[in-house]
Structure 1
Amino acid sequence: MTEFLPELRRALPRLGEGLLVTVEATVLGAVAALVVAYALGLLSRSRRLAVRGAVRLVVEFFRGTSLYVQLFWLFFALPMLGFRLEPLACAVLALGLNYGAYGAEVVRGAVAAVPRAQTEAAVALGMGPGLRLRRVVLPQAHALMVAPFKNLLVQLLKATPLLSLVTVPDLTFEIDQLRSATGDTAAAYLVLLGVYGALAGVLSLSMNALERAAKTRLGMGGGA
């Protein structure tokens, strides 16, 4: 430990850069996952059987295969087909597709949970399908999505250490460099555990506040 602390102080700038990369990957991966989740979740309610079937295949494929394998395929196999992405882009795409597939089920379930009477009332008022979705269905569904989305967001954060396996200089990558320099595995990974625990706590508190705000707007009370 006497050698670890001085080396830790010297490594703080690199650890800070790695932390920023981890946060960037988490945010970009979450945005990509949200887009995928809404696209697949809403398409899964299409009246066309072919569309629903195609969406189901995509969702089950990305839910049923390992994120680890998906990431490695994008990084190592995709270039063989003539498409090369930067390591961080591969990571964001893999996170977005994998967690977006899980999020699609959240969107589908939340939309289905909106009382049918609400939609019927919107039809009676002459609202078209798009307007009904934007003004009636999604505002109510959003309040139901926040809690499961919080869990998925924390899971996505905890998956970011995989980025170091495809040469992304994230926090885990920099901690590994610190561990190699000091030989103190326990202390290095204790720091990593502490930082990830703090990040997960911040995300959870933020999503709890978002859930309370969504419920308050709908007059459902502010309890989380």
Structure 2
Amino acid sequence: MTNWSVHIGLILEGALVTLELTVMGSVLAVIMAFLAGLGRVSRFWAARSLATAYIEFFRGTSIFVQLFWIYFVLPFAGVTLSPIQAGVLALGLNVGAYGAEVVRGAIKAIGREQREACIALNFSRGQAMRHVILPQALPLMLPTFVNNAIELLKGTAVVSLISLTDMTFQAQVVRAQTGSTLIPFTTILVLYFAMALAISCSMRFLERRVARGLDGVRA
């Protein structure tokens, strides 16, 4: 007789790994998105070129290849990462490349009059970006950042290919042990949906907070 409580417990353990990957990968993705996005609008050619090369490379190659390269090829260069470190790095760099274009587009969407006001106030470029441009650009970024975070969550399934015990890996283990596909994969389907819904709700709350704060500044 199959002890489903044990098998569901395995999947829930995998869900914690998936959650860890999602949180850490999202933090890295946001950092890379802002670094590369700001690099794309920099006055310096080197910064623009480096940011563009990063964005085009990670958007133009497969996440599978990136993950395998980071985990299996980097050790030949003396850089050995654990499966979770490789997973976070691959997911964060990949999604960050997409987020960088969101940052660039939001910054470019801020009207010329705002930039002219900064000049009139004798703000430096850094002060203008920090105090005027980015606070207004952030609400424009958040809806797409929600989509990127959910895509990163779904992308965590690829780490099962390097034997990291996320919930997709654990569902495959349970399937092999029980011969059942319906229960383990329905379980992770529900868990992925619940996590995605939690991300959406959290980001909508953040959007409202940011919008209210921006309204207060404008007032």
Equivalent-residue separation in structure 2 for 1:166 and 1:25 (angstroms): 14
Which residue number corresponds to residue 213 of structure 2? 217
Matched, 1:136 2:135: no
Equivalent-residue separation in structure 1 for 2:50 and 2:156 (angstroms): 29
Alpha carbons 2:8, 2:184 under 8 Å: kept: no
**Deviation string, structure 1 residues 139-181 (Cα, Å, up to 9, x no partner):** 1000000000000000000001111111211111111111111
**Deviation string, structure 1 residues 24-81 (Cα, Å, up to 9, x no partner):** 1000000000010000000111112333223212111100000011001111111122
Question: Any unmatched runs of 5+ in structure 2?
Answer: none
SS at 1:127's partner residue? coil
Which residue number corresponds to residue 20 of structure 1? 16
Matched, 1:78 2:84: no
The Cα shift of 1:14 comes to 2.6
Matched, 1:44 2:40: yes
Equivalent-residue separation in structure 2 for 1:80 and 1:47 (angstroms): 37
Which residue number corresponds to residue 110 of structure 2? 114
**Deviation string, structure 1 residues 73-132 (Cα, Å, up to 9, x no partner):** 111111122210011000000011100000000000001111121121122112222221
Equivalent-residue separation in structure 1 for 2:107 and 2:3 (angstroms): 52
Matched, 1:169 2:165: yes
SS at 1:219's partner residue? helix
Which residue number corresponds to residue 195 of structure 1? 191
The Cα shift of 1:11 comes to 2.5
Letter in 1 for 2:188: L
Equivalent-residue separation in structure 1 for 2:193 and 2:129 (angstroms): 37
**Deviation string, structure 1 residues 170-193 (Cα, Å, up to 9, x no partner):** 111111111111100122211111
Equivalent-residue separation in structure 2 for 1:185 and 1:112 (angstroms): 48
Which residue number corresponds to residue 122 of structure 2? 126
Which residue number corresponds to residue 54 of structure 1? 50
Equivalent-residue separation in structure 1 for 2:3 and 2:174 (angstroms): 7
Alpha carbons 1:8, 1:178 under 8 Å: kept: no
Alpha carbons 1:68, 1:162 under 8 Å: kept: yes
Alpha carbons 2:174, 2:184 under 8 Å: kept: yes
Equivalent-residue separation in structure 1 for 2:110 and 2:117 (angstroms): 12
Matched, 1:105 2:101: yes
Alpha carbons 2:11, 2:188 under 8 Å: kept: no
Identity %, equivalent residues: 44
Equivalent-residue separation in structure 2 for 1:57 and 1:128 (angstroms): 28
Listed as ranges, the matches of 1:89-104 within 5 Å are 89-104=85-100
Listed as ranges, the matches of 1:29-40 within 5 Å are 29-40=25-36
SS at 2:132's partner residue? helix
Alpha carbons 2:26, 2:152 under 8 Å: kept: yes
